[in-house]
Amino acid sequence: MFKKVVITTTLAGTLLLAPNVSEAALGDRTLYNGMSNSDVTELQNVLDDKGYFDYHTATGYFGNITEEGVRDFQRSAGIGVDGVVGPKTVSALKGAAVSKSSSSSNTYSGTLRYGDRGSSVTSLQSQLKSKGYYSYSVDGIYGSITQQAVRNFQSANGLSVDGIAGSNTFAALNGSSVSSSSSSSQVKSASTSNSSVVSIAKQYMGVPYVWAGTSPSGFDCSGFLQYVYNKAGTSIPRTVASIWNATDKVSSPSVGDLVFFETYKSGPSHAGIYIGNGQFIHSSSSYGVTISSMDNSYWAPRYLGAKRA
C-alpha cells in the first residue's frame, strides 16, 4: 500500500528538484495514478523536461498518460517499472545522467522512438517533413506528433506500423528496399476487412450529438460506435470503458480500428473509428458526427491507443 503524504505549497517545489532534501525524505513522498496535487504538476514538468511528457500539459492530475510517462522513464533509467513515483524514481529524476536529452542506447543502435531527443531526431523530422509526413517545427523531440508521422509513413510504405524508427523505416526514408512483406499484408488485410465499418460510419456525418443517443436521430460517442459496428455485423459493448476492455490492443490503428482518448476523466472516455491518414470519425459533443485529425492540438495529447473489435 502506498503512503500518501500531504505536502505544503512551500515544500511542493522541493519534491523533485531541491538538492538538499534527503533520499529518505523523498522516499516518503510517493505519487501514483489517481492523485491530484501540486507535486504531480512538478512531476509532470520534470518528465516534460526529460522528454517523457512531450506535447502534454501539466495538469496536476496523475492519470494514465502521466503513468505511462513514468513507466517510460523508469524503463530507460533501468529501475523497476511500476508507474509509481517512489524514492528510486525521484532519485533518478533528479539525476542528469538518466535524461534522454542527448543520449540513449536506442539512438546509438540506430533506432529512435518516443521520448528520444537530439540531432538524430532532428534529422528524422526533416526527412519526414521533406516527404510530407511532418508539418510541425523541427525541434529534435520525438513526441506524439513525430511518432504519428512515423506511423503514417510506415503505413504508406508497407512497413510494420509501430511508430518506432528502426532500420527498415530509415531504409525506406532513404529510398532503399525493405523486407516487410508479411507485416504489409497484415495491415492491408485489416484495412480491407474493416473498410465497411468506415463506409457505414460516413453515412451518418452531421448527425447531431445527443447524450445517451443510440440512433441516427442523435448519437453520443459510444452509441455511435455500437450502432455502426452492429450494422457491420460486429457486436461491441455500450460504453467506451467496456469497449476498451472487450477489444484487442494493436500497436497502431488500421482503417476501421477503434482509437481511444482520455478526456474528462482518467482512462478511456472518448473513442472513434480510424479512417486512415491520421484521421478518425466520431460523435463529438461539439459537432456531432465528424472527422478529426489525431494530430491536432486537442486530440494528440489525449490519445491512449488503438484496439480492434
Q: Which domains does the chain have, with CATH numbers?
A: 9-98 (1.10.101.10), 105-173 (1.10.101.10), 187-308 (3.90.1720.10)
Whether residue 94 contacts residue 17, with contact meaning beta carbons closer than 8 Å, is answered with yes
pLDDT of residue 176: 59
3-class DSSP state of 275: strand
Give pLDDT < 50 ranges for the chain: 1-27, 96-109, 177-193
Cell, residue 221: 460517442
**To which residue does cell 506535447 refer?**
55
Strand order in the sheet with 279-284: 248-250, 303-308, 258-261, 270-276, 279-284, 288-293
Could you list the active site residues? 221, 270, 282
Query: What is the H or E stretch that residue 274 is in?
Result: strand 270-276
- pLDDT tens digits for range 181-197: 333 333 333 433 467 89
Rg (CA), the chain: 21
pLDDT of residue 56: 65
**To which residue does cell 528520444 refer?**
116
pLDDT of residue 282: 97
